[in-house]
Amino acid sequence: MPLSMNRDVFITCAVTGSGGTQDMSPHVPRSPEQIANAAIDAAKAGAAIVHCHVRDPETGKPSRDAALYREVTDIIRAADTDVILNLTAGMGGDLMFDGTEAMHLMSPKSDMAGAAERVQHVLDCRPEICTLDCGTMNFAEADYVMVNTPGMLRDMAARMVASGVRIEIEAFDTGHLWFAKQLVTEGIIPAPVLVQLCMGVPWGAPDDLNTFLAMVNNVPPDWHWSAFALGRNEMPYVAASVLAGGNVRVGLEDNLYLSKGVLATNAQLVEKAASIIENMGARVIGPDAVRDRLHLTKRAPL
């Protein structure tokens, strides 16, 4: 019952997301080269893991183009700076409706892909880690649903595991964490298990401490975990996660600002997180220590 904080903390930097943050900061990387360079800079600043989406280099819109993932992967793999690559597999479950009456139709704005398609870039690029958004939920948009059915999650997870890539389970609410445990119980996701608690994403779990601790109390003791929150709660959650025994995630996917009115780079966010961690008396660990902990193998893309 003495405070069981994490004293050896790894930082994940989520360098660019799938939302429309491009227009809000010039520091959000867009092209594969920009994304890879942002990742490498984040690694230099202390991130052991870089979590990457890709974007259409022309428009900045989120993309699922396998060639873009491959380009990002190749540049990061070729860099002098060692870092663990974590590719999103969260794209392709984007269901849109046109208002609230024509509910029997998917809006053409939807992007709904099958399991094979959703993991293809993972099988190709062989990152050390890829994400699995462990449930279906609303987001802030009025007519949008992020769709990941139980069947889809079992299917995607099995493909990821078969490909030798470690899964980072993303839990956006307590029910997602519950289903993650189900996937482990069913033998689909093997140990060591890694989960990211995604706090304060509307309309998933809010980021108040009571909810956060309830989730942390439900993470099995032998799992590895990290947590993050959005916007101005990104840095507070660096502290919250370390205090509760977890690792941390920062980056422009989750928050654009270094301080009120001051736009950040990914590397600056990592540096600030590292400063909080070290001032709390913990140590920031690098990619090899994380590989050891999560049993990761760095492999060349296929």
Q: Which residues bind Zn ion (CB under 5 A)?
A: 88
Least separation in angstroms between residue 80's CB and Zn ion is 25
Least separation in angstroms between residue 298's CB and a copy of itself is 30
Q: Which does residue 235 touch among a copy of itself, Zn ion, none (CB within 5 to 8 A, set by kind)?
A: a copy of itself
User: For Zn ion, which is the closer residue by CB, 35 or 219?
Assistant: 35
User: For a copy of itself, which is the closer residue by CB, 76 or 153?
Assistant: 153
Q: How far does CA 125 lie from the centroid of its chain?
A: 17
User: For a copy of itself, which is the closer residue by CB, 38 or 171?
Assistant: 171
Closest CA to 252 of 11, 14, 54: 14
User: For Zn ion, which is the closer residue by CB, 88 or 247?
Assistant: 88
3-state secondary structure the chain: CCCCCCCEECEEEEEECCCHHHHHCCCCCCCHHHHHHHHHHHHHHCCCEEEECEECCCCCCEECCHHHHHHHHHHHHHCCCCCEEEECCCCCEEEECCCCCCCCCCCCCCEECCHHHHHHHHHHHCCCEEEEECCCEECCCCCEEECCCHHHHHHHHHHHHHCCCEEEEEECCHHHHHHHHHHHHCCCCCCCCEEEEEECCCCCCCCCHHHHHHHHHCCCCCCEEEEEECHHHHHHHHHHHHHCCCEEEECCCCCCEEECCEECCHHHHHHHHHHHHHHCCCEECCHHHHHHHHCCCCCCCC
Least separation in angstroms between residue 270's CB and a copy of itself is 13
User: For a copy of itself, which is the closer residue by CB, 149 or 297?
Assistant: 149
CA distance 81 to 79: 5
Contact 149, 167 (CB under 8 A): no
Least separation in angstroms between residue 49's CB and a copy of itself is 21
Q: Is 57 exposed, middle or buried (0-12, 13-18, 19+ CB in 10 A)?
A: middle
Least separation in angstroms between residue 32's CB and a copy of itself is 26
Q: Which does residue 88 touch among a copy of itself, Zn ion, none (CB within 5 to 8 A, set by kind)?
A: Zn ion
Least separation in angstroms between residue 196's CB and Zn ion is 9
Q: Which does residue 65 touch among Zn ion, a copy of itself, none (CB within 5 to 8 A, set by kind)?
A: none
> How distant, in Å, are the alpha carbons of 105, 145, 259 from that of 101?
9, 15, 42
* Residue of this chain nearest to Zn ion (CB atom): 88
User: For a copy of itself, which is the closer residue by CB, 105 or 297?
Assistant: 105
User: For a copy of itself, which is the closer residue by CB, 10 or 237?
Assistant: 237
User: For a copy of itself, which is the closer residue by CB, 97 or 225?
Assistant: 97
Least separation in angstroms between residue 65's CB and Zn ion is 16
Least separation in angstroms between residue 52's CB and Zn ion is 8
